[in-house]
Each structure stands twice: as C-alpha cells, then as structure tokens.
Structure 1
Amino acid sequence: MESPSVLACQRPSFEMPEGVSYLDAAAWSPLPRAVRAVGEAGILAKSRPWDHSRATFPRHTERARGLAASLIGASADDMAIVGSVSHAMATVAHNLKPARGGRILRVADEFPSVCLPFDRLADRHGLTVEIVERPEDGDWTSALLAAIARPGAPPLAIATLTPAHWTDGTLINLDRIAPTVRAAGAVLVIDATQAAAAMPIDVARWQPDFLAFPTYKWTLGPYGLAFLYAAPHRQDGVPLEENSGNRPPVQGARRYDRGELHDPVALPMAAEGLALIAEWGTEPISRYLGRLTQRLAQGCGELGLIAPPQERRMPHILGLRRPNGLPENLIPRLAERRVFASERGGGLRLSPHVWANEGDIDACLAALAALL
C-alpha cells in the first residue's frame, strides 16, 4: 500500500521573512503569493474595465464554488456564495421553521454568528436555548451527547455546532454527535470556520442540513467571502438578498447567493487559495500541523502551560492555560519578539499553518520562556 504523502513546509509560497513566527491562522492567514497575484490582476481588471471583459468573471466564481464544494465532499450545486459566516447563519435561521416548545443546543462561549440569529429564531418560535457549559475534563463530546439525551428535556429542534471550540481547538467529535442529532429529528447546522482546509471534512459523513466556512482563515483567501453548503432538501428556501442572480429559475443552493456575486478580486483569490489547499491535501496538512502543535504542547508544558490532552484537541489549534492566568500584555509582548498569537477565553491560542516550520516553534518557545 502506498504510504500517505508527507507535506513539506510551504513557507516559500508566502511573503513571510525569516524571524517572523506567525502562529495565528485561526485569526486570519497571510495570503500566499499566488493568491495575491490573482487579486492584483482582479484589481487591474476593475481599474481598466475597457481592457477586461466582464464576461470572464463568472468562470472565476464557478471555479471557486466548485473548489469549495470539493473541499467538503459536496457538489457545486450544493454551495452558495455569501459575504461571511454571519451572512450564512442568518440565511439558515431565516429558513428554519421549528415547532414551538423545542430547544436549540450549542456550547458555551460560542462565536456570536452562531448565536445571535438563532437566539432571534428562538424568540420568534418559542424555543429554549440550551447552552452546554465547558466540561472540567475538556470532553465536549460527552457533554453534548449527555445534553441531547437528557431525560425530560424539551425535544431537540436545532443543534448549532462546530468541529472544535474556536477559542482553544478542543475537539467536538461530530462523527459521534451528528448521528445522534439526526436520530433526534433535529436540524444540524455546522460552522466549519476553524476546520475547513485544516482537517478533512465530508458532508456525506456528517449529513448536516447546513455548513458554512469563510475564506480568510485556513483556506488562505480574502476577507469578506464565505461559502454556505445546503443539503439538497434545504435548497428551496428564501435568500436574505433578492437579486436577479438568485431568483427562479435558478435552482440548488445558488438560491442563497449574495448580490454583486462576480467579484473580479475576491472570487479569483478564493479559488487560488482553495486550489493550493487541494494541491497539498487536507489530510497531509492536518498531519503536518499536528506535528507542530504537539511539539508546542510538549515545550509549553515544560513552561507550566497546560494544554488539553492530545486526543481531545484538533491537530491545528492549541489552547494553553496557566493556573494563575497569563501574564499581562502577553500577546503584544510576544509580538515585540516577532511571535504572533492570540488570547482567547483567557488562554493562549497558537495556530500554525503550512508556512510554519520548526524554527517558528523554537522561536515561540524561547519567547514564552523569557516572558513567563
């Protein structure tokens, strides 16, 4: 049997100088050189429209749509192009009509775009919002399964979930949870912001009703663009924005497309970033990042920082805590040493991508040793 491919560091694909340890992909990623180049070509097309026919723009749109679909095992007809994940989630909530008396399930400290439209939906339809608190042992999966099966609870109407908690990468195992949600007859909505392109995703395995992800993080694309997957039985809804491009006879998830769709800058950039991800492969990316975060976890453990157990975290995001809290101004002080990370939920979040190498890990550990 052929051995799985091993991904090499892709730093030459980025404009990242030596001496910069950028471990903040979960916030947003730098653009690869190739993505920047197609974006600049798109700017030129808008700057000199007499030299560039608009008739060429839709092919970039459909290339991006197709690549986004391939990333999650869907078809192009299942994908809508929207402005953001919050746009996607508002579209989803706009098209759900749950029976009164049910409940919406989510985890604590969830990102606002996965909360606000569904809170409004709950108010409108008389639903209860149940928030699963962070478990002391970090086992979100067991906590969610227990909440779904809790005796005497209102019927589960909607579960808005993510493959990992965005603040620290702790695992939410949808391979175990998704079948339970479906068995309860509930709608499954997935925010894959912190998963798409960094780990394999297959909508045939999870069978969500809806799934969304943006392009400015792990897929190495521009800001202000996202994709919404709608399962075939969820494609006859009403878009938030009515425009000539998403009205009948348009069918499939294109019914949810945003207005001003054929952006000559953002769509080619998104397509180029997705093409790079397809070239490298999500499984090799996940394995590569897992090796880096494991080294970080070991080194940070020696400095008194506590990471979740390896089996309860995603391979590409490492959340670290300290019993007495992080030092004041840790993030700007790390930046002074050219190490870039985020503080989320009171913890240090480290999230390398394919540009990171062993030198970046060494630089991060050295900076933390000096500052802690």
Structure 2
Amino acid sequence: MISPANELRCQRHLFEMPADISYLDAAAWSPLPLGVRTAGEIGLLTKSRPWSYPREAVPAWVERARAAAAGLIGAGSDDVAIVGAVSHAMAVAARNLAPGRGGRLLRVADEFPSLRFAFDRLATAHDLIVEEVARPSDGDWTAALLAAIARPGAPPLALATLTPLHWTDGSLIDLDRLAPAVHATGAVLVIDATQAVGAVPVDVTRWRPDFLAFPSYKWALGPYGLAFLYAAPHRQHGVALDAHVGNRPPAVGARRYDRGELNDPVALPMAATGLELIAGWGVPAVAACLRGLTDRLADSFATLGLPIAPRTLRAPHILGLRLPGGLPAGFAEGLRRRGVFASERSGALRLSPHVWANDHDLARCVDAVRDILDGRSDPDP
C-alpha cells in the first residue's frame, strides 16, 4: 500500500487527451505524453538539421535510455540490450539457448506470437515437447501452471516462456510463485514483460529470468520500434542476430545484443523521457493508481450482473470482460462510436486504463457497455 501523501493522481494534463475521449487501451498502444512528443520533435530536428544538432550528442541518449529501462526492472545498465522489438529480443534469446533434447517447453494457451514463434523453431530443432496449459475454468493460471510444472511422470522441464499476466484479459500469472518452481527444476526461464513493465513492479533479481524483454510503446509511454532485452549475467556471452561495430568487443554485458543503427536521435530520447517519467512517479504508485481504476470498473460491471474475475486473479492494470456466449459482434466498434476505446482479444473485451484516465472515462465506458448490451442504438454522429 502507498500512503495518501504518495498517491498518484490523474495525470491527464500531461497528455493531449480530449475530454470526450475515454482511451482505455494502453495495453495496445499508449498515447505519448507531451514531454515525450517534444523529445521526439527535437530528435527530428537532429536528423533534419544535422549541422545544428551534432550526432555526437546521440550516444549519451543510448545509455540514458538503457539506464532508465534497467532501473524499471531492477537491473544494471550492463544487463540490458536495446533491440527493435520484443520479437527481436525473443529471437536473440532463442538463438542463445541449447536445451536438452526431449524436454518440455511450457507456456500458456493462446500466448502472444512474439513469445511463440522463435521458441517453436527452438523446440523443433531440439525435439522439445511443447506443452500449452489450457485456460483454467476457474481463471487461476498460476495454479494450473504450478500443477503442470510438477506433474508426475512428465518429461523434464527444459524451458518455460511466461508472462506476468495473460495478454488477452489481464488474468494474473504470478511469477513470484512460478519463477521459484521453474528454477527448482533447473529449467530456463524466459519472460515477456510487455504487459507489465511501467505498470506494475518487475524485478529481475526476484524472478531471476535468463532473459526478459519489454517494448517502449505500451505501458512505458514511449515510441514504436524500440524494445529492451535483459540478459542474466550468465547469458551475456552469446551471439547477436546482427553483427556490427557497436555490439562487438569492447562492448560489454548485454550490449553484445544491441541492434544495428542504435543511435536513433528520435526514438531514444522519447523512450528515455517516458521511462524517466514513470520512474519519477514510482511504479508502485502507478500500479496502485491503475488498480483503483480497474477495481472501480469491475465494481460497476458487477452491478450490471456481468461476470468479473475475482480481484485476486486479476492484474492491477487490465480488466478483461468475458460474457457467456461471447461478446456481441462489433462490440469494440460500438464502444468507439461512443467515444470509448478498448480492444477485443480472443473473445474478451480488454480494458486497460493508464494514468490519464479519470472517473468520467470510467463512467462513459460503463454507460456504453450497458447501452450496447441493452441493444440501444448508436448515438447520432
């Protein structure tokens, strides 16, 4: 719990957010804070007028962004590589793993593609048995995964590719309980923290993953096309996907996995500014703020008689709404016509507010959901 003195209030004033828009889709693509946009505009001038903005200033932004990313996950700067996307990060991780043949690769069903494709190739190359844990009927992914890890008679666990929550609906996957169980088997642990870093506390010293990755453009309030890869110290001697002068010796630590064309004068200042903004708020304060928003949405939907997962099984920052028989066709589009922006993912309405959201946004969302489910016509244009 945070004290009222440290409570994070609505930060809508830091965003270009119209009063009549309820943007509850941070899990898809966050809007940029005004300060992040300004950093990007200055970066554009660097490329547009390189005689006035010397290139020599850009490498400092590389290390500033790296340090800011590392700080949000409890890592050191030497442990973090800057890559182009989480799919890039996972390809690097998979390339540098050599699991024993015949073991299991464990993950949840309906996992996001960037956490599947590279490891599917790894599984084929090493004869791994891919075990996807089905969505549990009681919503408790953590218990289902723990049971799968410890299942008697199962082939040895070689690799677990996990996330702190299910990306489709915010169902909690408790890595505080799962990471020790994976480590106890001697298996490799790879974490996709896309839907976590910036919104909830992430600590690599607690989870001890071999690799962990997250992008800039969602909860980290940064640009598209930039991501960060944590590599544990014993995983920092591998091979990058692309070889260039920047990731060869004397590059140290995870820098050996840095992408080419690293010195981006636009994306790096934007990413660093967004990450530092979050660090200034404090991730625990952000998580508490977002928990309050999703709890209020959950309580309102419960009064409408809609099924809501228990609070203990929900991540703080994403609320998934699943209806018996599925969502009506065009549900998300109907919300957009009412000024409410959210995503449909695998049969769930995924609501993901961030620090710009206020009570008016929540009320508009609840009213819109009620209207659509009651069959009321769309508002006049």
After superposition, the C-alpha distances for 1:167-187 in whole angstroms (9 at most, x for unaligned) are: 000000000010010110000
Aligned pairs for 1:180-329 (under 5 A) are 180-329=181-330
Deviation of 1:149 after TM superposition, in Å, equals 0.6
After superposition, the C-alpha distances for 1:102-138 in whole angstroms (9 at most, x for unaligned) are: 1100000000011111110011011111100000001
3-state DSSP of counterpart to 1:263: coil
| Residue 38 of structure 2 corresponds to residue 6 of structure 1 | no
Structure 1 CA distance, aligned partners of 2:37 and 2:2?
35
Contact 2:42 2:266 in 1 (8 A): yes
Contact 2:2 2:285 in 1 (8 A): no
Structure 1 CA distance, aligned partners of 2:341 and 2:287?
21
Structure 2 CA distance, aligned partners of 1:324 and 1:190?
32
Deviation of 1:306 after TM superposition, in Å, equals 1.6
Structure 2 CA distance, aligned partners of 1:258 and 1:135?
38
Q: What amino acid maps onto 2:126 in structure 1?
A: H
Deviation of 1:2 after TM superposition, in Å, equals 8.8
After superposition, the C-alpha distances for 1:54-92 in whole angstroms (9 at most, x for unaligned) are: 000001110000000000000000000000000000000
Q: What amino acid maps onto 1:53 in structure 2?
A: P
Q: What amino acid maps onto 1:236 in structure 2?
A: H
Deviation of 1:249 after TM superposition, in Å, equals 2.2
Structure 1 CA distance, aligned partners of 2:306 and 2:57?
52
Structure 2 CA distance, aligned partners of 1:168 and 1:13?
27
After superposition, the C-alpha distances for 1:170-212 in whole angstroms (9 at most, x for unaligned) are: 0000000100101100000000000001001111110111100
3-state DSSP of counterpart to 1:122: helix
After superposition, the C-alpha distances for 1:248-292 in whole angstroms (9 at most, x for unaligned) are: 221200000000001000000000000110011110111111111
| Residue 146 of structure 2 corresponds to residue 145 of structure 1 | yes
Structure 1 CA distance, aligned partners of 2:174 and 2:153?
24
Aligned pairs for 1:160-179 (under 5 A) are 160-179=161-180
Q: 1:2 to 1:132 in 2, by over 3 A?
A: closer
Q: What amino acid maps onto 2:346 in structure 1?
A: G
Aligned pairs for 1:116-127 (under 5 A) are 116-127=117-128
Q: Scaled by the length of structure 2, what TM-score is found? A: 0.96
Deviation of 1:3 after TM superposition, in Å, equals 3.1
Structure 1 CA distance, aligned partners of 2:325 and 2:303?
16
Structure 2 CA distance, aligned partners of 1:274 and 1:289?
17
Q: What amino acid maps onto 2:82 in structure 1?
A: I
Q: 1:299 to 1:188 in 2, by over 3 A?
A: same
3-state DSSP of counterpart to 2:122: helix
Deviation of 1:50 after TM superposition, in Å, equals 1.2
Bigger Cα displacement from structure 2, 136-145 vs 321-330: 321-330
Structure 2 CA distance, aligned partners of 1:214 and 1:181?
24
Contact 2:2 2:288 in 1 (8 A): no
Deviation of 1:305 after TM superposition, in Å, equals 2.5
Q: Scaled by the length of structure 1, what TM-score is found? A: 0.99
Deviation of 1:324 after TM superposition, in Å, equals 2.4
3-state DSSP of counterpart to 1:245: helix
Contact 1:304 1:322 in 2 (8 A): no
- Give the match for residue 130 of structure 2: 129
Structure 1, unaligned runs of 5 or more: none
3-state DSSP of counterpart to 2:247: coil
- Give the match for residue 41 of structure 1: 42
Structure 2 CA distance, aligned partners of 1:306 and 1:240?
45
- Give the match for residue 85 of structure 1: 86
Identity within the alignment, %: 67
Structure 2, unaligned runs of 5 or more: 374-381
After superposition, the C-alpha distances for 1:209-256 in whole angstroms (9 at most, x for unaligned) are: 110000000000000000000000100000001000001221200000
Contact 1:238 1:256 in 2 (8 A): yes
Structure 2 CA distance, aligned partners of 1:328 and 1:315?
28
Aligned pairs for 1:333-352 (under 5 A) are 333-352=334-353
Structure 2 CA distance, aligned partners of 1:272 and 1:307?
36
Q: What amino acid maps onto 2:127 in structure 1?
A: G
Contact 1:45 1:264 in 2 (8 A): yes
- Give the match for residue 56 of structure 1: 57
Contact 1:43 1:265 in 2 (8 A): yes
Q: What amino acid maps onto 2:69 in structure 1?
A: A
Deviation of 1:41 after TM superposition, in Å, equals 0.5
- Give the match for residue 108 of structure 1: 109
